[in-house]
Structure 1
């Protein structure tokens, strides 16, 4: 009996040690942010906390999403392509797939999600011990619900769904007059960090901000920081960003020339009134990202206070490139005095989206680099070999599940609740954290709306519409030298691989 008790104690200690050695995981996702919008990626926007993560972590120059909000989130949460989970055409339920929450909760993790989901499921029902946030696509940052007494009607497109753990609200009208979505998402996470259950287990936090997606809403004190910054106009800001990217070694001017296709309008052709409006839009956009950075600082400080930062793996990315879309708002005030406030529902527009994606072509929805390439920072004090370095290998959101399963010593299931689960499609990025090469044996694929692409090694075939283009990304990141006419056989082979993939990946209704 004594031997049995001693063995039981030893096993319990070993399991406790095993749990303690596994890293906490935080994935911070922002919405509709351009490739050059962070200080550490060339921006003038003040993002000191994110920049510090980059300085002490690894900056990836070729991390890919899907070019659109909900397919990117589905890839990130499940480790399979959106086509394989039924999330490729409209936001709905993630099928034939498991989430990071489901996999890691089974592995003994505390699982937390705060922010935007953009699906029809409550993440509380998909493996997360807590979920607080916008179940929908976008919302009014000041008030996602109905008009409150003494306030104007909130600018909006339509009523949105909101979740607080097991409850779903339609709409959600916060009572707090100082409610602001970015702050609220962070506050929920900070409260969970103080719970006993979170303190005694490794945890995963999916912190999914809907900023800087439209509507352009920000605190007045944050907007004031950027007053006059954008009066120089599109070209001046873009050129300054590009030069900073070159100076910091982020881009090679020989491989990444600033080609200006497409190009923002000539600032000097705008009227004085238009210049004021355009400058204000970008000031508010910058303020939204500034506030995200402030909130990330709160998360980092809480981890320091709890002594958990050293063994916390933190990722930062955007779900797609900058947004050139119109808002489609049904209720909106365009009065200049309402800019940034609850009655407004504005966006930055195409010209600033081009600047935000410097130096790449196009923006959200396109499968060209400007639509699918995101800043990506990996931070893990205990696990990185070369902090402050760049990684220039292709990576994709499908790789996050494989990476987290690897780091968390979790088991990825073949079946879940009686449903056959699609195998993970990505590869672990842990070798990159150790200064080694990422081992990928298959091409990467994209399909959203009229856009499609395949990346196999250095070559990328991409289209918007029917006609495929071909680029050698190792020499031409800006996709400015189309090789389709010079290498038709290579292009035909890539196009055939894409067709075969899409036919096999697409699940039937």
Structure 2
């Protein structure tokens, strides 16, 4: 295939800023030769949820992407949403990027510590700031979760067109009901949105917006960087009834049986040794057979809704790909898909202000309404453990179930490594260097006249091209979040 990432480009970034700042860029390649870049991030998707990673949920679009691209079995994100997103967009450690803690969980002992600001730091440059300065259009739709103020918005950090939810989560419907007693904030191109359309559904409308943005400049010859940041399948679990109905009765066997089925499929894929017969114990899970019939029905419905969210997201990704094909853009687009962390095992009572149950009592979680407007249901630790198979624990933990993510990457054209697996250690900070190399751009030494921290990630280009198996030797990664620590090598 064409080696798009080996462009010869000289870039001067002495005073790069995101919006409206002139940059001195010289390139020997024509703008059309540089690839478009489509980054797709799922929210709280488990490692083995999609078909390409052993799941039973119907994900034909993602599975086809895996057949055309390269799957990575040992890709590491961070344990929760905003730390991962800060490392993703900056190519740096989440503490350097300001997200040593999630903004909604700052507590007095760390409130004034550097690296624990709870929003994206001005010590780093972002992918859209750099690529916009290099001549790319930059678009974003979906979840931001890196700061809610005007100066912290994606529109202020390099994105040209945006439709975003600023918070960590909330209703997927038009009612804008938050995760906990607060408010949901939506912005379009920096301006606050006070109300959503009556037929709003998160995955549908975020996809609509990104397609609109891509359409707006499709003929001007300049490449684009598009960040599709879905909020599915983050709780509250919501899905159109017709999608949930597809999974009716399919999880009545419970989470223990699901974990075994996932493990078997992962063994068939060669990701788990055949002699592994069971999972390490998890003190947070319950045995399915210990539940009452009423509880089994409710929990099975929750997993049905979760699966429906994932399938609907997959369908929406297919709509994006159809848009690219219609405009003749698909063959010149680098596509990357992964989840920001493991499946979410926390109950809704864990969110700030929800412990006393008064806010959650305002929702209708009857069996008939679970997953529909006015409900607030979650995955819980037992389904989340099965969803994170074959690993221990899930989101929020620095164990593998919290930080290993199903990564799929497809280069423009036909890949020599199409349909294959790579099993070496990779990290979310490697995404930015990969994009910059393939776009022929360079990380700046300064931003708005101030020095900025250099990225720690490494480009995955040689792996994607099939010229190298690994980009590291004897290097590892350290993690710290919520005072839990880990090191992987």
Q: Could you tell me whether the CA contact under 8 Å between 1:55 and 1:387 is conserved in 2? A: yes
The alpha carbon displacement at 1:444 in A equals 1.3
The alpha carbon displacement at 1:130 in A equals 0.7
> Distance in 1 between the 2:131 and 2:217 partners?
18
User: Match for residue 16 of structure 2?
Assistant: none
Q: How many pairs were matched up?
A: 432
User: Match for residue 334 of structure 1?
Assistant: 365
The alpha carbon displacement at 1:266 in A equals 2.2
The alpha carbon displacement at 1:199 in A equals 4.8
The alpha carbon displacement at 1:117 in A equals 0.7
The alpha carbon displacement at 1:201 in A equals 1.0
SS, match of residue 30 in structure 2: helix
429-438 or 404-413, larger mean C-alpha shift: 429-438
1:34 aligns with 2:46: yes
| TM superposition score normalised by structure 2 | 0.85
SS, match of residue 337 in structure 1: coil
Q: Could you tell me whether the CA contact under 8 Å between 1:82 and 1:88 is conserved in 2? A: yes
1:438 aligns with 2:470: yes
Q: Could you tell me whether the CA contact under 8 Å between 1:111 and 1:203 is conserved in 2? A: yes
SS, match of residue 82 in structure 1: coil
> Distance in 2 between the 1:223 and 1:38 partners?
16
SS, match of residue 228 in structure 2: strand
Q: Deviations over 1:313-355 (max 9, x none)?
A: 1111111111111213524222222211121111011110110
User: Match for residue 262 of structure 1?
Assistant: 282
| TM superposition score normalised by structure 1 | 0.82
> Distance in 2 between the 1:326 and 1:98 partners?
35
User: Match for residue 426 of structure 1?
Assistant: 457
User: Match for residue 116 of structure 1?
Assistant: 143
User: Match for residue 10 of structure 1?
Assistant: none
The alpha carbon displacement at 1:156 in A equals 5.5
User: Match for residue 452 of structure 1?
Assistant: 485
1:145 aligns with 2:166: no
User: Match for residue 495 of structure 1?
Assistant: none
User: Match for residue 375 of structure 1?
Assistant: 406
1:302 aligns with 2:334: no
Runs of 4+ in 1 over 6 A off after TM superposition: none
Is the alpha carbon distance of 1:257 and 1:377 closer, same or farther for their aligned partners in structure 2, counting shifts above 3 Å?
farther
Q: 1:162 aligns with which of 178, 186, 206?
A: 186
Question: Which structure 2 segments of 5+ residues have no match?
Answer: 1-25, 104-117
Q: 1:132 aligns with which of 153, 163, 170?
A: 163
1:275 aligns with 2:308: no
User: Match for residue 111 of structure 2?
Assistant: none
Q: 2:124 aligns with which of 73, 77, 97?
A: 97
The structure showing larger relative contact order (alpha-carbon pairs under 8 Å, at least 6 residues apart) is: 2
Q: Deviations over 1:139-195 (max 9, x none)?
A: 11002537xxxxxxx8854211111002134xx421x22110111100001111211
> Distance in 2 between the 1:157 and 1:296 partners?
32
User: Match for residue 233 of structure 1?
Assistant: 254
The structure with the largest alpha-carbon Rg is 1
Is the alpha carbon distance of 1:243 and 1:379 closer, same or farther for their aligned partners in structure 2, counting shifts above 3 Å?
same
Q: 1:59 aligns with which of 49, 68, 71?
A: 71
Q: Deviations over 1:288-329 (max 9, x none)?
A: 001100000001111111111112111111111111112135
User: Match for residue 11 of structure 1?
Assistant: none
The alpha carbon displacement at 1:84 in A equals 0.4
Q: Could you tell me whether the CA contact under 8 Å between 2:174 and 2:199 is conserved in 1? A: no
> Distance in 2 between the 1:57 and 1:332 partners?
42
RMSD: 1.8
The alpha carbon displacement at 1:439 in A equals 2.2
